[in-house]
A and B are shown apart, each in its own frame.
Chain A
Amino acid sequence: MDLTILLFLVQDGITNGAIYALLGFALVLVFAVTRIIFIPQGEFVAYGALTYAMLQGGHVPGTAYLLPIFAFVALLFDLYAERSRITGTFLLRQGVEKIVVPLALLLAARELAGVSTIASLVLTVAIVSALGPHLYRIAFQPLADRSVLVLLIAAVGTHLALMGLGLVFFGAEGQKADALTDFSVDLGPLPVSGQNIAVYAATVLLIAGLYWFFERTVQGKALRATAVNRLGARLVGIRTKGTGKIALALAAGIGAVSGVLLAPMTTIYYDTGFVIGLKGFVAAIIGGLASYPLTAAAALAVGLIESFSSFFASDFKEVIVFTLLIPVLLVRSFASKHTDEED
C-alpha cells in the first residue's frame, strides 16, 4: 500500500461519507421533529437517482405520475378530516397544493424530459421533495401522537410500500446517470472529478442551508421548538402538524439531492436505497439521533472505514461497518441516564 492508494481510499471514503452525512442529517431532522425513525429515507435516494437518470435519458419518470396520486389520496384524507369546516379558502389552498402543483410538475416532467441536465436536476428535487409532505399526511399524521414504536412500524411499512412502488414505476433493472460535468483536476497523483467536487459542495451548502434555516427563519425555529417540546410548542401557537410535513419535505429533498449526486457514480436499483440509507442511519445513531455535528463526523468515519475495509478485507466490509454500532451503542447506553420515552 503506497501513498497513491491511500489518497484514493481517503477520497473515496470522504465522497461516500459526505453522502451518508446528508442522509444522517435527514434522519436526525425527521426524528427530532416527528419522533419517526425514518426507515424510508433510502427510498427517497433511490427515487431521486432513478428519477434523475430517467429524466436525463428523456423518459418521464414514474415518480411524476406517483406524485399526483399521492397528493390526491392526501387530499381525500384532508377533506375527510376537515369535513365539518370546509371553507372556500381551505378548498383553494388544498386545490393548489394537492392538484395544481403535482399536475404542473407532471406536465413539466413531460415537457422537459431530456432537455437539459439543470432542468432534470431541478425537476427531480422538486418532484421527490413534493412527495414528502403527502407521504407524511397519508402514513404518519394520523399516528402523530402515538409511541415511537408505532411510528417505527409505520415507517417500516412505508419503506416496504415505497420499495414495491419503486419496482412498479422504475422496473427491476438499475439505472445510471451521466456525470454532471466531465471536469477533472489532478491533485498530485489523485484525479478529483467534477462529480466529487459537486458532492462536497452540495454537502457543505446543505449544511450551511440547514443552519440558516434553523437559526434564521421562523419556520426553522418552529421546527426546533417542536423538536424540543411538542406540547409547549403547541401552547405557543405552533402548528405541529405542519412541522411534520416540512420535516418530511426537507428529508425527501435531501434524499433527492443525494440520489442525484450518487446516480452518476454507481448503478442504482429500486431497492438499493435501503442499504445506503442504513449507513446514514449508522451515522445518525452514533450522533445519538440528535447532534448534527456528531452525525457529520460519524458519517465521514463510516465512509472512510468502509473504503479502507473494502481494500483490506472486502468480504467483511459490511460486517465491519455495521459492527461499529455495537460498541457505540454500548458506550451510549452506559453513559446516558435511562428515561422512559413516553414521559
Chain B
Amino acid sequence: MKFKFSIAAAACVAALGLSAAVVKAEDGVLTVGATLSTTGPAAALGIPEKNALTLVPTEIGGLKVKLIVLDDAGDPTQATTNAKRLINDDKVDVILGSSTTPPTIAVSAVAFDAKVPHFGLGPMPVTPGKERYTVIMPQPVPLMAAGIFDHMKKSGVKTVGMIGFSDSWGDLWLGQFKAAADKYGLKLVADERYARADTSVTGQVLKLVAAKPDAVLVAASGTGAALPQSTLRERGYKGLIYQTHGAVSQDFIRIAGKAAEGVIMASGPDMLPEGQPDSALTKAPGLALVAAYEPKFGPRNQFAGHPWDAFEVLKRVVPVALKKAKPGTPEFREAIADALITEKDIGASQGVYNFTATDRYGVDERARIMLTVKDGKFELIK
C-alpha cells in the first residue's frame, strides 16, 4: 500500500514539476547544455558540431548524460539568452558553446557569473581574472600560425603575399604575420582582401602575382578559401600556397580540384588520425570520432572534433569531481572546474589538453599537424 502511494505521489510531483516547467536536478544524471550556431552565417561550423553531439557517450562515470542543444544563429545576444536558459531553467552541470568567437565570449560571461564550467567551441580571448570556468577546445591561432611560418622558413621563403577575408579572420592572420615576421625572417609584399560572396578574385590575384612573392598565404575559411587557390594557379602562380586551418575540409579539395595539389595547410590532428604514429595521444580519439562520424554524416571536418573533445575531457574530469560532490550541486560544478586543472595529458581528437589556472587552451604542438594535398587526398607532412 505504502509502495503504491509513493508511486502515485511521485507521479503527481512529476506532473506538477512538468506543468510548472521547473526542472529539478535528477540523481545520477549529468546535464549538459549546448548552444550552437546551427543556422546563420556560421552554420557550416554549428551543424557538424550538432552532428557530433549525437555521437558522444550517453554515460560518463556511471551518470546518465542528458543533453540539451539550442541554436543561437551565431548571434551573441541569442547565445546569452540560451546560456541563461540552460543554466537557470535546465540547471545544467556543464555548458558547451558557441561555434564562433563572439557568441562564445557571450556564453563565457554568463558561465562565469553563474559559476558553471564552460567548454568554448570557438576560439576566444580569455580575460585575466575571469578564466576559472571557461576552457577552450579549438587551437589558438598563434599555435597554428607558428606551424605555417615555421614551414615557410624551412622552405626558404623570404617574401610572402597575403590574401584574406575582409573580416576578423583576415585581420587576425595579418596581425599574426606582422607579429612573427621578423622572428622567421619573412617580408610581406602584398596584402589583399576579398569577401566570401565575391564572384571573382582576379584583381587581387593579378596584384599578388605581379608582386612575385615566394609564397602566398590565404587567410580564409571553408570552401571560400578555394577561390584564390584556383585563381592563383590559373593565373600561373608557381610558388607555394599556404592555407589556414579554417580551410581544411574535404569540400576544399572538391571545389579547388587540381589547384589544391601541393597546398600546405595547418590543421587540427582529427583530419588525419590514420597517418599519426601509434604513440600519439590524439590518434585513438581521432580514429573513434572518424569511425563514428563518417558513416552517418559524411566527410570528416575539424568542427565535429570540438564537442567530441569536450566529452573526452568530461570523461576524465567527471569521475574525479564525483568523488567530491553530486551532480546538480554548486559543489559539483566547482569540483569540475578544479579537476580541469588537476587532470593532466587529456588525450582528445584535436589535441592533448593540459589546462592550467591561466592557460585555458591547454594545448601544445601535438594539437597541430601540417597537411598537403596529393592526388586529391590529404597527406601528412612529416
Residue positions of A touching B, CB distance < 8 A: 1, 5, 8-9, 12, 15-16, 19, 164, 167, 171-176, 262, 265-267, 269, 271-272, 274-276, 307-312, 314-315, 317-318
Contacts and interface: CB of A to CB of B under 8 A. Distances in A.
26 contacts: A5-B206, A5-B210, A12-B200, A12-B202, A16-B200, A164-B39, A172-B44, A173-B223, A173-B249, A173-B251, A174-B223, A176-B255, A265-B199, A265-B200, A266-B200, A267-B226, A269-B223, A271-B41, A275-B195, A276-B197, A276-B199, A309-B203, A310-B204, A311-B204, A314-B193, A315-B193
A225 to B, nearest CB: 36
B194 A267 contact: no
B199 A307 contact: no
A272 B196 contact: yes
Interface string B184-211: 0000000011111111111110110010
A262 B196 CA distance: 14
B63 to A, nearest CB: 33
Contacts of A311: 203-204, 206-207
Given A174-B224, A267-B223, A307 B39 contact: no
A314 B200 contact: no
Contacts of B207: 311, 314
Contacts of B192: 314
A262 B199 CA distance: 7
Contacts, number: 94
A310 B202 contact: yes
Interface in B287-310: none
Nearest to B48: A172
B47 interface: yes
A171 B249 CA distance: 15
B58 interface: no
A274 B192 CA distance: 23
A147 B202 CA distance: 42
A307 B43 CA distance: 30
B329 interface: no
B223 A266 contact: no
Given A175-B255, A271-B41, A310-B203, 20 more contacts: A12-B200, A16-B200, A172-B46, A172-B47, A173-B249, A267-B223, A267-B224, A269-B197, A271-B197, A272-B197, A275-B195, A275-B197, A307-B202, A310-B202, A310-B204, A311-B203, A314-B166, A314-B192, A317-B193, A318-B166
B239 to A, nearest CB: 18
- Nearest first, the 9 A-B pairs at minimum CB distance are A310-B203, A311-B203, A172-B43, A172-B44, A275-B197, A174-B223, A12-B202, A272-B197, A315-B193
A269 B196 contact: yes
B262 interface: no
A299 to B, nearest CB: 13
A275 B203 CA distance: 18
A174 B202 contact: no
Contacts of B254: 176
Interface string B213-231: 0000000001110110000
Given A171-B47, A173-B44, A266-B227, A12 B255 contact: no
A315 B224 CA distance: 17
A15 B200 contact: yes
Contacts of B202: 8-9, 12, 307, 310
B166 A12 contact: no
Contact of A176 (B166, B194, B226): B226
Nearest to A275: B197
Contacts of A174: 222-224, 251, 255
Q: Which of A9, A271, A314, A317 has the most CB of B within 10 A?
A: A314
Contact of A318 (B39, B195, B224, B249): B195
A314 B255 contact: no
Contacts of B195: 275, 317-318
Contacts of A314: 166, 192-194, 203-204, 207
Contacts of B46: 172
Contacts of A176: 223, 226, 254-255
Q: Which of B193, B204, B206, B210 has the most CB of A within 10 A?
A: B206
Contacts of A318: 166, 195
